Amino acid sequence: MASRRRLCLMLIGLAAVFAVSIVVNLVVNPWGAWPINLIPAKYRVIVQERVATPYLLRTARPNTILLGSSRVRFGMKIEQGLKDGIQNAALCGSHLPEIAKEVDLALRNPNLKRIIWGLEFYTFNSRDNVCSTETCARLDGDLGLKLTDNVLSEDTLAASYHMAMRAWKEKTSADAAVPVPWPDSYICYSFAHPHPPTLAGMDEVHRFREVANLPEYRYFDYSARQRQEFLQIVDRIRDAHVELLAFIPPLTEFELEMLRQTGRWADFEDWKRFLAQHINYVDFSGYNRISHTDRLFIDAWHMEPAVGATIMRRLLGDPPPRCPDAAIVLDSALTVTADNVDQIMALQERRKREATAEPNAYSRMVAAAIIKRYGNNFTPAPALSASR
């Protein structure tokens, strides 16, 4: 009898804990899935962006959406995911089918005025152009997954606890406290005091590991299907009368060398020409000042948040930050249109020839990384652009 009573009490206790967890997750709303704002959104910290972003796209009403890969997610940092009317909807490792669904959701927002899109060459690879099953289910509005994510998840309960504690202590990070776009004074402060790690601060072993993990370009398939999918997304944005501000993020000279030494430079240029035929964009990539200023990158792939903040101000037409590192970023910007693309490509080709005339630290390390990845008998892949 006593054991039965003990079992009943245990079950009641378990049910009570379960019920409290559900209520906490609903009330705190750490992923922004519900129109509940009991705890201010300024205390939210988006860690799992592939969980939170689809829900925020449905519930928030920003005037500006940021799209792209982890370069935009980390480089145009918004810890809460949404602040001052700007939502960072970039997904790490994003692909065009995912971006297409994000755009479809974003265009339902009557307050949307503009989309800032960090364009990525890698998303035009047909060999790796998939929509993550769970991400697409969330973007499509799967109710079962929504309940699992926002009510029944242990990760959500942990996020709710941390968000509630930040609100109770009235605690936010310095980056989360400043307005978006970042003020020029804070951008310059961030340039001078970057959060570790930075590419410049890495030792040779760590730097080589980063370079060896750069995106795969050797078996890249730059196909017409991806180009058509991109144009369909652009058409939907234009049909909705939403402004599109497109840019190509800065690349380190390590990644530029990976493109060049694996035989993909002609395709990279062809991609830029294709873009210019259909949209205007600002190009921060290429063998320019920023590409070999290692302190402006987190690692071999991602720009520092101060770089992204400078780019955002440039795209929005805000006054530029007045500090030397911001000048490096802005001096590297090239506005590309259908009318000037030939001149821009010629300029970038000349800069490439000058930068690669003699072996240097970037080219040597990439060559070593390529041998590690493909072996000593590696030969560059033939360019695809000439035949497509």
Beta strands in 64-217 (DSSP E): 64-67, 82-83, 86-88, 114-118
Of residues 244 and 160, which shows the higher confidence score?
244
End-to-end CA distance of the chain: 79
The arrangement of strands across the sheet holding 334-336 comes to 82-83, 86-88, 64-67, 114-118, 243-248, 281-283, 334-336
- Kindly report the backbone phi and psi dihedral angles of residue 202, in degrees, each rounded to the nearest multiple of 5, phi listed first: -80, 145
Q: What is the pTM of this model?
A: 0.92
pLDDT tens-place string over residues 274-323: 999 999 999 999 999 999 999 999 999 999 999 999 999 999 999 999 99
Whether 290 contacts 191, CB under 8 Å: no
Beta strands in 227-285 (DSSP E): 243-248, 281-283
89-98, 149-158, 343-352: range with lowest mean pLDDT: 149-158
Domain ranges of the chain: 27-180, 182-223+231-240+248-304+332-388
CA dihedral 254, 257, 259, 265 (to 10 degrees): 140
Nearest to 80 by CA among 113, 112, 43: 43
Cα separation, 118 vs 128, whole angstroms: 18
Cα separation, 388 vs 274, whole angstroms: 12
Average pLDDT of span 255-261: 95
Nearest to 237 by CA among 131, 111, 106: 106
Whether 12 shows a pLDDT value over 50: the answer reads: yes
Residue 303, strand partner residues: 297
Average pLDDT of span 354-372: 94
Cα separation, 162 vs 176, whole angstroms: 15
What three-state secondary structure class fits 334? strand
- Which two tokens mark 374? 């493909």
- Which two tokens mark 148? 């699992």
Cα separation, 29 vs 366, whole angstroms: 45
Cα separation, 363 vs 254, whole angstroms: 7
Q: What is the pLDDT of residue 18?
A: 44
Whether 86 contacts 180, CB under 8 Å: yes
- Kindly report the backbone phi and psi dihedral angles of residue 288, in degrees, each rounded to the nearest multiple of 5, phi listed first: -125, -170
In which band, very low, low, confident or very high, does the pLDDT at 223 lie, cut at 50, 70 and 90? confident
